[in-house]
Amino acid sequence: MRILLYNPDNGVTRNFMPHLWMFLLQALTPSGHEVLLIDGNAQPMDEDGIARYVREQNIDLVGIGAMTRMIAKAYRMADAIRAVGVPVVMGGPHVTEEFDEALGRNGGERHADAVALGEADETWPKIVDDAARGSLKEVYAPVDDFGQERKPSLKEYPAIPWDKINLKQFNLIPKMAMRTLQRIGDGWGTFRIIPMESGRGCPYGCEFCTVTGFFGDSIRFRTNESVVSEMLLLKARAKSEGGQIAVFFIDDNFAINIKRTKSLLRDIIAAKAQVHWVAQISANLLRDEELVDLIAASGGKWVFIGMESIDPANLADVNKGFNKPGEYAAVLQRLANRNVYAITSFIFGMDNDTTGVADRTLAQIRTWPPGLPIFGLLTPLPATPLYKRLETAGRLTRPKHWQKFIPFEMAHTPLKMSIAEAHAEVKRGWALSYSAEALSHAVHSLKDKPLGYRINIFIARICFRGIYFPQMGPSAWLKLIYQNRRTIFGLAREGFATWRKHAAAVPIAPAGD
């Protein structure tokens, strides 16, 4: 069979990296089948486009995975595929919790021929075999002989052949700049952010999060050898292509077992497998000085920290009291001292939030080392404790909000401000953090660091700005460049001066006789 694995776009802006599930299922597919991958964020498609693609490519089976915010687009694409006679299997956290919706059992339209519940490591090969025989079942669930849910071990993790996979669609270097950068050298003809996991599961059980419900509260880890081998393979590919690769560890809490994490980082260092990497780590785990030393030495450059709020009452409400806002500044400074910076995530619209929460939060952020603050709204996702609590209290305003996804739009009524006020707080947080003045300040705050660090923070802020403010087309980018022209000119002038100084220092070989 020819199989297509498809991940829909999020409808807002281009993602910075592909989704791991596609590569993992490709590696788990039984031999004798060809697997094609399309990430809608890198290859935008509408319903007519994907229907035409599956016809022209003679696709026999399509697998679609999507998170809640993408599920409406996923359903539309699945409908278009099924309309041309190609069966569709859907999976992921949303479908696991709402599989009756995907199968049309709740009175709505049917979108999938089959659904894969939970982690599909064990069920995917069965799905492929059944599809090849023309005998797809409706529901596939990973269960043991007693009918209990079974979580796959990660000890025998499949080797993803990164050296052979076509990653052309995931190059983040714009086509118009690619040739120029290839001529300049230094390996910047390509740049890709590659997802990797070292473990699954989270014991914290935050009220708004789907992770514990989907992956469980016990942590399963890959072997250090498996992770290191994968990093070495990526590093070798980047070198062979004259490009750059960064790894994003998608573990929901990369350092949840500090002893194990330290062991992994030491093995990465010993094997010289360092590439620049990003991971999600709770602030409370970053008190450990040795851990932070190892993060920096092993190639860690950015750490995603779900701070959520500077209000301890809010954190207690959502079962995240292990976050201590009084420690945030020290944690971020500890990272910055090693030239590691933070992506700090905040949620507005929590039960103790009032108007002015954006300004109060920004006042704290401005005292910290420069990073990438991001702001969102408290969102009740299906089957989470938050959803159940708000449903019981009658506070849901759009109980099926995912059926018509609206970016940065609340689906329930906050306690201490209106929905409109919560929206305004999020907009203010983004506007003040990603204005031309804010970008200039972030760059200037690193004036004592090498030029590369300032370029890094500027480019990262420009990209992250697109999470909230649309910057999908050339006109939006040209406007953005114009707004930030002074900062860009300053960085370019310094870069040119550095290049000239370096060129002047290179001795000229004497002419031959």
Contacts of 79 by beta carbon, 8 Å cutoff, 6+ apart: 47, 109, 111
User: pTM of the prediction?
Assistant: 0.88
CA separation for the pair 207, 204 (Å, rounded): 9
pLDDT in tens, 287-296: 999 999 999 9
Angle at 167 between CA 164 and CA 170, to 5 degrees: 165
Confidence at residue 343, expressed as pLDDT on a 0 to 100 scale: 94
Confidence at residue 413, expressed as pLDDT on a 0 to 100 scale: 95
Q: How many CA atoms lie within 13 A of 197 on its CB side?
A: 21
Residue 386 token pair: 């938050």
Confidence at residue 131, expressed as pLDDT on a 0 to 100 scale: 97
**DSSP 3-state assignment of 105?**
coil
Q: Which amino acid is at 31?
A: S
CA separation for the pair 47, 355 (Å, rounded): 41
CA separation for the pair 281, 71 (Å, rounded): 27
**DSSP 3-state assignment of 369?**
coil
The single residue listed with the structure tokens 């929590």 is: 350
The bridge status of strand 139-140 relative to strand 244-249 is unpaired
Confidence at residue 474, expressed as pLDDT on a 0 to 100 scale: 78
Q: What Cα–Cα distance (Å) separates residue 221 from each residue in 252, 298, 359?
A: 12, 19, 40
Q: Tens-digit pLDDT profile for the chain (513 aa)?
A: 999 999 998 766 555 677 899 999 999 999 999 999 998 887 889 999 999 999 999 999 999 998 998 999 999 999 999 999 999 999 999 999 999 999 999 888 999 999 999 999 999 999 999 999 999 999 999 887 777 888 888 999 999 998 888 777 676 665 655 555 555 555 556 778 889 999 998 888 888 888 888 888 888 999 999 999 999 999 998 888 877 888 999 998 999 999 999 999 999 999 999 999 999 999 999 999 999 999 999 999 999 999 999 999 999 988 888 888 999 999 999 999 999 999 999 999 999 999 999 999 999 999 999 999 999 999 999 989 999 999 999 999 999 999 988 889 999 999 999 999 999 999 999 999 999 999 999 999 998 888 888 888 888 898 888 888 877 677 888 888 889 989 988 888 887 776 666 656 655 555 554
Q: Rounded to 5 degrees, what are φ and ψ at 397? A: -95, -25
Contacts of 272 by beta carbon, 8 Å cutoff, 6+ apart: none
Q: Rounded to 5 degrees, what are φ and ψ at 471? A: -145, 60
The single residue listed with the structure tokens 């992994």 is: 264
Confidence at residue 451, expressed as pLDDT on a 0 to 100 scale: 84
**DSSP 3-state assignment of 128?**
helix
Residue 310 · residue 325 · CB < 8 Å: yes
